[in-house]
Structure formats: structure tokens, C-alpha cells
Structure 1
Amino acid sequence: MLHHLVRYVLAPAARLAYRPAVVGLENVPADGPVILASNHRAVLDTAVISLVVRRRVQFLGKAEYFTQPGFRGRAMAAFVGGLGYVPVERGNAHAGLAALNAGQKVLNAGGAFAIYPEGTRSLDGRLYRGHTGVAVLAFSTGAPVVPVALTGTENLLPRGARIPRPARITARFGEPLDFSGWTEHNLRARRAVTDEVMAAIQRLSRQEYVNTYHRRPDEDVA
């Protein structure tokens, strides 16, 4: 129910207020399974994709968003559910498998599922090597992959701000990539497909590409 409120009330209001430039939206199929593989610049990227795509898009979300107590917790759960979040436990040995299973369920049901192959937000504006989960989903479901490039979202909610600020936002959607004809699904094939997806994102975003996985400062080894 709430996703209708997001789609038909919140989304038009947000588009009117922030006037994002949207390019290539016709590349997102109106129905049927599709994977939206996006770069990740800011915490509001998920909201931007949800608000500009004209069909419901689902994402992975921390299970804690859905389990907070009290009225505030219920309101949070309803809101993130309306945005399309799918709750997944993180920080344990089964988290990666749970994430893939959640994505497969959405796609097998004919839905749109968005994923950030980098795995985390880029802290320096560069585009980092993608994890191969996007390829696993493409192989296991046969869904096409639409590359997505977001620019300007990092200026919407600067560090320390609580309310989104006016910023020039652009969302570019590339032509769908079809990997359903691949007969090899091994590690080498998954790496090749993921690299192709990241190259498509880079062409859209024009970010500097770094062929290593992104590590946050608290992951650095002394």
C-alpha cells in the first residue's frame, strides 16, 4: 500500500522539487525482471532511483531498518518498505548468500531489482571494481542488466546535513545488457560479465575507474 503512496505522491513531488535530469529511462523495461546495476555516490542513491523509475524497484536493506521498536520503528519499517527495501541480515557468514537469494526472489517474480556492484559508497568519487553478485543474478535468473549512472547525488545530503539540499542530479540509464546466452557460469565468466557491467556504468558516469575493490577507512590494515 505504502509503495503506491511513494510512487504516486512522493515521487512526483520529489521530481518537482529537485527536477532531476533523467536520460535513457526508456531502457528500463516497463515490466518483467530487470537488474538495475548502479554506481553508488551517496546515501540517497536508493531514493533517487526509486523516485525516477516509473515502476517499483526493490533493493537490499539492513534488517535493522525493519526491527526498531515503537511507533518510530514501525514508521521507519513502513517507509523503507514503501521505497522498496528488502530486509537482509548483514555482518555474518551467510549475508552474501541471503542477499543473492533475496534478489533472485524479486527477479523470479518478474520484479525490478537494483544493486550496487561496488558494494559500498565511493568516498572519493571514483568508480571501483564490482563484486560478481550482479553476474550471479543475471546468470541465475536470465534477467537483463541495465547500467545506471548517478551524478550529483553526493551533493543532496552533505555530511552533517539532515534535510536534502537543492542539487543538480542526473540519472542515466544505459541500454540493457543480455547475458542469457552465456553457457559458462564459472568464476571467470562471472568476472568477465561484472567487468562488462562496470565498463558500461563508467561510460555513462565518466568517473575515473579503479580496478580494485573499494575499502572504507576503517577497513585499512595498519
Structure 2
Amino acid sequence: MVVKLYTYNMSPSVRSCLMACEIFNVPFEKIPIDIQAGEHLTPEFLKKNPIHQVPVMEDGDLTLHDSHAILPYLADTYGKDDSWYPKDVKKRALVNQKLIFNAVIIFARARNITGQVVLTGKRTIEPELIAAVEEGYEFMEAFLSRTKYIAGDHVTIADVAILAVMTSLTQIIKLDAQKYPKTSAWLENLKTAPYCKKYDEAGANELAAYVNSRVA
């Protein structure tokens, strides 16, 4: 059975799910949703996700929204082993912790900037929003000073979730490699991964270019 994934290329959350589908060899159908045209607000889409956000995944009779729910589901259902999302309770807890960190810190602070520009036409980024992102970079540096990857010494779905945000965010709010060497090395390493090249790079560049072209 083919998974249906409702997508919008500039969305980091969507791109993380596309990368996961590639990593886990998930057969999927990509169904584009034009957010700027309001297709996420149609009655048909709202039946799938009342929160009117992408991604939305349909796998048989299961409908899931929010990438932080979709990524663990894909790993558990389609992963050939548990390296990306460990079954060991303590190791899994660390991955979950970093997925939540992405949801409430990295992604949320990025969306405070990019979402407003894309959806409302806003043309400024307040200093406090920049400072909040830079604080997120500081948190990343602290975590990556302890382990090679964000939730341990091997790559997991938490890295994929954060990677999809950082590839576009760091083109808008620059990441100082001298100030954040561990984070910079982590990012440059994962940007070379085939799944990132295939399903993240173009959308990340598109979002960054869109925001940068509109912000004074």
C-alpha cells in the first residue's frame, strides 16, 4: 500500500517526512498543497487536519499530522532496524526529547520568522526573533558538544527533523562556524547525505530565497 503525503516544498516539516520516506524506503504518493493559495483551508483538507497544516500522512485507515508524530511512525513501521528510532527505552527517550526540542525551540522559532513572511507578507525580522534563533543555535552547540549527533553518537530521526529546519534557517539567520563549530560541522555533514540532497536541498533553498528576497 502506498502512503499518501500531503506536502508543501518550502515546509521544513514536510521535507523531514520526505527524507524519512527515502531513508526507510517507504512507497509514497506526494500530493502538493498550495498553502499560499489557501488549499490547506478547504473543507476537504480540514477533514484530514483541522489544524490546517502540512504535512498530513495517510497510511491505509490511519491519518497523521505533525512531522514529530509521522517520523516515529515511519521509523517503527518501515524501518529495517531500530537505529534511527531505538526501541531501547532510554535511547528512545533521548530521541523523543530532541524531537520535542525541535518542535518547541528550533522549528517554533524559525516559524515565527518564516511563517509570517510566507503567509502574511511581513517584511521585517525583529531583533528579538533573531536573538531567539541564535539562542537555539547555542542550545544545539551544547548538545552537539556532548554527542556526535543530536540525540547520541549515531544519526536518528531527531537529526532529520532538525536538519530540515536548519538547512533553510541558517541561510536566513547566519550560523557563525567559529562560534558554533560543532553545529556547523553537524550541519555540513548531514547536508551531504543523499536523502538531504534529494528531498531537502531544493525546498530549503526556495524557502530561504523567498524570505531573504522579501525582508528588508
- TM-score in terms of structure 1 length: 0.31
Instruction: Compare the two structures and name the one with the higher helix fraction.
Output: 2
- TM-score in terms of structure 2 length: 0.31
Instruction: Compare the two structures and name the one with the higher strand fraction.
Output: 1
